[in-house]
Structure 1
Amino acid sequence: MKTKLLFLFLMGILLGCTSENIVTDAPTQVLMLKVDYTTNTFEGGTILGFSRQTENFTITNEYVSPGDFGSVKLTYKELNQTLFEGTIHWMGLGEMTFPKKLEPASSFEYVITEDIRYPSGFEDVFNPDNRELDYEIPWYSVQGLVKVREFLADNPDQKVKMFLYTPSVGEGDPKDWYWVIYLKR
């Protein structure tokens, strides 16, 4: 038993994810990545594990418009599981409340190559202001990650799910905003 726990702990370290965020033997895994909106710098991510496999991967959102305080929640519809929760403040700064922690960018390995990998497309899962968004720019920040390439190889026809989280609105500062990117395998 101790050997098995030690193995799972070491695998979590090697994968760059904490045991809170990943189920290593889960039939379904969702890779969540965070990219800064103004600099398009990859800042970190996690892998969420789910005990049931689904053919489809639909993300629904629950949005509470910020009169003063609002929120957004993204759900993996087929499993009724939370993927993201965050608060939004008018003339203030909200925060991501789920997942509680992301692994830093330094814990993700990059491939040593200059080829660019593209998904079969991008899907906007939440855009309450109907902004014109260019998904390719933040995609360039993550497409060289080993995990991204593994997820694309395992599910090559998937559309990458994109979400621009704006925890500060009104007189909000775009420097507080970031992209959230999801891939499934």
Structure 2
Amino acid sequence: MNKIYISALAVLSFLIGSCSGGLAPEPENKVLLLQVDYLTNSFEAGKELAFENPATTFSVQTEYTEPGDFGSIRLIYEELNETIFFGTIHWMGLGERLYPETLLPKDSFDHVLTNDYITPVNGFEDVFNPSGTTYDYTVPWTAIQGLVLVRSYLESNPESQVRVFLYTPSVGVGDPADWDWIFIIKN
């Protein structure tokens, strides 16, 4: 009887031990992209991007092609040379966000249960603003500051600056109803 228990215990130990090494650890280097409607300042969608390679700093490089008819905006995580946003811009038309291909809807994001209000300690950095317009980023920020992931990112990287830009896929006689704030937060 003891041999059966010992054999069963040995088999169970083997199975548990062989399974534990098969799971890859989750990447720790992440960037959160959140989309807020320009006109209503309502949170619409977002995506958490994960990167295999670590980086001790976070810089956003902008590649902008001015829309004569068709243009684009690409944001690159400079230290890793990884695209974090790419969208087209059409003069007298409507461009589209091509990367990330999809965003998770707002109901995929949990909210904190408290009523406190937080802002990034080092404020906001506008990573793309060809018109040089001065914006009050705290208005659209209000829509996302209570998200659990936002709080988690700011807690893990308290000295970070939140990156933001206004994505305008329609310009010329563009329709502001097509425009969105894109917030970028590094963990």
Q: How high is the TM-score relative to the length of structure 2?
A: 0.85
Select the structure of larger CA radius of gyration.
2
Q: Which runs of 5+ in 2 are unaligned?
A: 1-18
Q: In the comparison of the two structures, how many residue pairs are matched?
A: 165
Q: CA deviation at 1:155?
A: 0.4
More displaced, 127-136 or 96-105?
A: 127-136
Per-residue CA deviations over 1:33-64 (Å, capped at 9, x if unaligned) read 00000100000101000011212110011000
- 2:38 and 2:145 map into 1 onto residues whose CA distance is 16
Q: Secondary structure at the match of 1:141?
A: coil
- 1:125 and 2:127 correspond: yes
Number of the residue aligned with 1:167: 169
Alignment of 1:45-60 (within 5 A): 45-60=46-61
Alignment of 1:31-46 (within 5 A): 31-46=32-47
- 1:131 and 1:67 map into 2 onto residues whose CA distance is 21
Q: How high is the TM-score relative to the length of structure 1?
A: 0.86
Number of the residue aligned with 2:72: 71
Number of the residue aligned with 1:86: 87
Q: Which runs of 4+ in 1 moved over 3 A?
A: none
More displaced, 100-109 or 125-134?
A: 125-134
Number of the residue aligned with 2:26: 25
> Retained in 2: the 8 A contact 1:88–1:168?
yes
- 2:28 and 2:111 map into 1 onto residues whose CA distance is 24
- 1:84 and 1:134 map into 2 onto residues whose CA distance is 22
Number of the residue aligned with 1:135: 137
Aligned-residue CA RMSD (Å): 1.4
- 1:171 and 1:125 map into 2 onto residues whose CA distance is 23
Number of the residue aligned with 1:19: none
